[in-house]
Amino acid sequence: MVKLAAKCILAGDPAVGKTALAQIFRSDGAHFQKNYTLTTGVDLVVKTVPVPDTGDSVELFIFDSAGKELFSEMLDKLWESPNALCLVYDVSSEQSFNNCSKWLEKARAQVPGSSLPGVLVGNKTDLAGRRVVESAQAQAWALEQGLECLETSVKEMENYEAPFRCVAKQFHQLYQEKVEVFHTLV
Amino acid sequence: MRKVDLCLSSEGAEVILATSSDEKHPPENIIDGNPETFWTTTGMFPQEFIVCFHRLVRIERLVIRSYFVRTLKIEKSTAKEPVDFEQWIERDLVHTEGQLQNEEIMARDDHATYLRFIITSAFDHIAAVYSISAEGVAVSDLS
């Protein structure tokens, strides 16, 4: 049995629902933030996620930083040495989806030479009538980039745990792979 | 006085603290004398472990076998309890793809009762330490 610890950075444009996602996950669905507040600096959510079919778990340190900081140098400091990425866009905003490649590039630049487990999250599926980013389109891009892909509605409390379970599972997988490498070296 | 590898459980050394531990790869693996077993870090850096010699020793040479370790700091103490550590050695290791890092450090007859190894950064998400050997002599027992 092992308890891993991983720094998971939340990335994506402003107002896509990063903070709402982190907070609803933290509170097990008890709190949906109705009023939008712009995150400045960083919020930290720490939560342990069990890895299915193992006795293992991953303690996630979720760094929720300001979405308006894409080009700021402060983000480089906050994002230092991430272990996982949760990349969020709004299914009703084409631009938030298009910007995902920039966020991904910035996140990957933090870990040159190693892989970064990650999940692409299309939020606000409750805004069905205003959807402009189709699931298939997001899935195709995620596949290309080596990201897992899923959709959520934080407002309807749908699937809000899935992104974090997904990155925990990926990080656990990565750990197992590294241990295999360590065995082969001797 | 007999020159021995002081960093072995068979010589009385003990790992008294480690910041991460997988049951399958515990920190005791570092001092068990088996070159194939290792301790894994299980999360974010820094990560550290403390070796207690249970006596005062004089160290002439240290060899650290590891993988993916980038920056390593070593502190030492000569106190009876694991307190009053002082900065001793700091090394930036080189990544050796596909083979273990084998870092040799010549010490100038430095005395210690405890050594604290701090991995401040790594070349990957997870690092491993296979063994530490400390060549030297036991100076005195702790009374």
A4 shares contact with chain B (CB less than 8 Å): yes
A3 shares contact with chain B (CB less than 8 Å): yes
Secondary structure of residue A12 in the 3-state scheme: coil
End-to-end CA distance of chain A: 23
Question: Virtual CA dihedral for A34, A36, A37, A41, nearest 10 degrees?
Answer: 110
Q: Rounded to a whole number, what is the distance in Å from the CA of A128 to chain B's nearest CA?
A: 39
Q: Rounded to a whole number, what is the distance in Å from the CA of A52 to chain B's nearest CA?
A: 17
Domain segments of chain B as ranges = 4-141
Domain count along chain A: 1
> Does domain B4-141 fall into CATH 3.40.50.920?
no
Neighbours of A172 (CB within 10 A): 22
Task: Give contacts of A179 with chain B, Cβ < 8 Å.
Answer: 22, 24-25, 40, 126
pLDDT band for B1, please (50, 70, 90 cuts): low
> Which tens digit of pLDDT belongs to each residue from A100-113?
999 999 999 999 88
Secondary structure of residue B34 in the 3-state scheme: coil
Task: Give contacts of B26 with chain A, Cβ < 8 Å.
Answer: none
CATH code for the domain of A98: 3.40.50.300
Amino acid at the residue A27? S
Residue B143 has pLDDT above 70, yes or no: no
Instruction: Name residue A10's beta-bridge partners.
Output: A64, A86
Q: Residue holding tokens 């550590």?
A: B85
> Which tens digit of pLDDT belongs to each residue from B38-73?
999 999 999 999 999 999 999 999 999 999 999 999
Question: For residues B130 and B64, what is the distance between their CA atoms, to the nearest angstrom?
Answer: 8
| ipTM computed for the complex | 0.94
pLDDT tens digits, chain A, 186 residues: what are they?
999 999 999 999 999 999 999 999 999 988 777 778 777 778 899 999 999 999 999 999 999 988 777 767 788 888 999 999 999 999 999 999 999 999 999 999 999 889 999 999 999 999 999 999 999 999 999 999 999 999 999 999 999 999 999 999 999 999 999 999 999 999
**A114:B40 CB<8 A:** no
Chain B residue closest in CA terms to A4: B42
Best of A62, A171, A178 to substitute, by most chain B Cβ atoms within 10 angstroms, is A178
Task: Tell me if the bond preceding B46 is cis, omega within 30° of 0.
Answer: yes
Amino acid at the residue A179? V
Structural domain including A163 reads 3-184
Instruction: Name residue A57's beta-bridge partners.
Output: A3, A50
Chain B residue closest in CA terms to A178: B126
